[in-house]
């Protein structure tokens, strides 16, 4: 079985946010950015079918979103999936920032970057609330593991 957990491409959450901002900045309009975000979602590691259940579901999302986390060597790794293409992309974006980081780094990285990148304004209110719920869930898990 392929490891479903996202391994970070960048050394820190801040570096990941900077890289995403730079990549989004390459596109002139939101249609192109959406396409890029959807493609990010298509590159997520395969999410195990047995995890696509209520126990793994993130509440507050219009589309169905599932997440799982595991602690490895002091870092939290996340796996995620959604039944909607654009939402899978947002999951991928979030996990690129947060997966593979220490609980302290996750808690120190405010999800305000979603607003700074213009993602919340560009999304429908429901999708914006959904990504905010995902970010909250990631931070809840981190706070449980920081002891």
Catalytic residue among 16, 61, 131, 142: 61
Whether 37 has a pLDDT exceeding 70, the answer reads yes
Q: What is the pLDDT of residues 38-70, one digit of tens each?
A: 999 999 999 999 999 999 999 887 789 999 999
61 among known catalytic residues: yes
In a domain, 6, yes or no: no
Distance CA 98, CA 77 (A): 8
In a domain, 128, yes or no: yes
In a domain, 5, yes or no: no
The residue to which tokens 């979103």 are assigned: 65
Q: Give the model's pLDDT for residue 147.
A: 65
Quote the domain boundaries for residue 127.
Answer: 13-145
Whether 34 has a pLDDT exceeding 80, the answer reads yes
Q: Output the domain CATH number for residue 18.
A: 3.90.1010.10
In a domain, 94, yes or no: yes
For residue 101, the number of C-alpha atoms closer than 13 Å in the C-beta half-sphere is 26
Q: What is the pLDDT of residues 94-138, one digit of tens each?
A: 999 999 999 999 999 999 898 888 887 777 777 777 788 899 999
In a domain, 4, yes or no: no
């Amino acid at each position: 079985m392929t490891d479903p957990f996202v391994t970070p491409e960048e050394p820190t959450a801040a570096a990941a946010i900077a890289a995403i901002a730079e990549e989004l900045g390459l596109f002139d309009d939101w249609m192109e950015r959406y396409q890029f975000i959807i493609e990010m979602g298509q590159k997520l590691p395969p999410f195990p079918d047995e995890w696509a259940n209520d126990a793994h579901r993130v509440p507050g999302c219009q589309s169905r979103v599932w997440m799982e986390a595991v602690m490895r060597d002091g870092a939290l790794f996340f796996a995620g999936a959604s039944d909607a293409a654009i939402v899978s992309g947002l999951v991928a974006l979030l996990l690129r920032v947060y997966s593979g980081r220490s609980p302290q780094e996750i808690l120190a990285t405010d999800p305000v970057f979603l607003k700074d990148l213009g993602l919340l304004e560009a999304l429908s209110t429901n999708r914006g609330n959904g990504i905010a719920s995902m970010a909250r869930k990631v931070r809840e898990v981190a706070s449980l593991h920081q002891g």
